[in-house]
Structure 1
Amino acid sequence: MYTQLVPERQQHVYEVIAQELQHQRDAAKVVELPLEILNIAGVASAGTGEELVDERDQINYRGELPKFDFAIKINGDSMEPRFHDQQVALVKKAFEAENGQIVIAYVDGRSYIKQFEQTEQTCRLVSLNRKYAPIEVQDNPSFQIKGIVIGTLSN
């Protein structure tokens, strides 16, 4: 039947089909995503440090998530305004970071979420909230990067 139409009417049929296909795609986008249980691997301080404990928690979450290796709860306000107390950070495992990346790091048995800053002279963990002093880690043998923050879930 389509081939029997003149080109002008074929174009009209094509446009109607394209419009219907777009409506179908849009309808599929509003399908409610399933509720998932997200495991929280522990806490990281956005402040003065959290003692490392093997504390596990779970939250319910509905929505799309980026690919991540572990989730960690943020405690404190040192990373405001970008990160907030009780937010959940999604982390990709890493043992190195690029200058300016937000990392989960361990220093002297405490976990932190901080911005990694490295120059030729120094290496430190920096808070986004300027009321907190940087943590110098240049010559600290206990300093370890555990991951790069790739996203957060709001509380």
Structure 2
Amino acid sequence: MNSTEEHTAKAMDYINLLHASGMYEKQTAKIIPFRSIDIFENAVSAGTGNFLVDGPKETVHIDESILPEDTTFGVRISGDSMEPEFHDGQIAWVLQQESVANGEIGIFALNGEAYIKKLQNDKDGIFLISLNEKYAPIKVSENDRLDIFGKVLGKSDASAITGHCR
């Protein structure tokens, strides 16, 4: 027997002793389901408005457990107008749809500027509302163009997608 075979035999003997002693538990691999999702690189504004349409995006493969069910895409948040719920630098997970119910948080483009805001539709009109009270509501007039990209389902810190595969 050569030295490699001797070392292998000794290692196997040790493994068998560990198994017999009960000190060793066989580890099973945990399969983590990953999902591909697009994240728009231009942040939506939690403040004054940023352009989103036709902006660059990256496709990432991330742990499915951090995504709310039905998530269609993600957007980066910029600003503090949606605090305390949403923070600068976080990723908002969005279900792409053409409408958002009154009181829901969505991704909107008002005259070409993209926002994450709460929709308010009442007798005084349509407003995009910030959660941070230091920001005034944005009134949507008849002459404005309001596009709805979808409903916000949840959020993650950007660190949750570090180390992803592209």
Aligned-residue offset at 1:92: 0.9
Identity %: 36
- Tell me how far apart the structure 1 counterparts of residues 140 and 120 of structure 2 sit (CA, whole Å): 10
Q: Deviation of residue 119 (structure 1)?
A: 0.4
Q: Give CA-to-partner distance per residue, 1:19-53, whole Å, 9 cap, x none.
A: xxxxxxxx99x935255554212421101000235
Quote the RMSD (CA, aligned, Å). Answer: 2.3
Give the equivalent residue in structure 2 for 1:99: 102
| 1:72 corresponds to which of 60, 68, 75 | 75
- Residue range with higher mean Cα deviation, 55-64 or 135-144: 55-64
Structure 2 residues without counterparts, runs of 5 or longer: 1-26, 159-166
> Mean Cα displacement is larger for which, 63-72 or 85-94?
63-72
**Partner SS, residue 109 of structure 2:** strand
Q: Give 1:60 deviation, angstroms.
A: 5.5
What is the alpha-carbon distance in structure 1 between the residues aligned to residue 102 and residue 35 of structure 2? 34
Deviations along 1:52-77, whole A, 9 cap, x unmatched?
Answer: 35121355633412221111111111
Residues 37, 72 of structure 2: 8 Å contact kept: no
Q: Distance in 2 between matches of 1:81 and 1:154?
A: 14
Q: Which residue of 2 aligns with 1:135?
A: 138
- Residue of structure 1 equivalent to 2:124: 121
> Structure 1 counterpart of 2:85, which letter?
R
**What pairs with 1:9-20 in structure 2 (closer than 5 Å)?**
none
**How does the TM-score come out when normalised to structure 2?**
0.68
The structural deviation recorded for 1:129 is 0.5
The 1:33/1:140 distance shift into structure 2, 3 A limit, reads: farther
The answer to which of 31-40 and 45-54 deviates more is 31-40
Rounded to whole Å, the distance in 2 between the matches of 1:90 and 1:63 is 12
Match of 1:4 in 2: none
The 2-side partners of 1:59 and 1:84 are apart by: 21
Structure 1 residues 93, 38: CA separation in 2 closer, same or farther (over 3 Å shift)?
A: closer
Aligned to 2:39: 40
Unaligned runs of at least 5 residues, structure 1? 1-26
> Which of these residues, 72, 90, 110, is aligned with residue 87 of structure 1?
90
Is 2:50 the counterpart of 1:50? yes
TM-score between both structures, scaled by the size of structure 1: 0.72
Q: Aligned in 2, Cα 1:87/1:58: closer, same or farther, shift over 3 Å?
A: farther
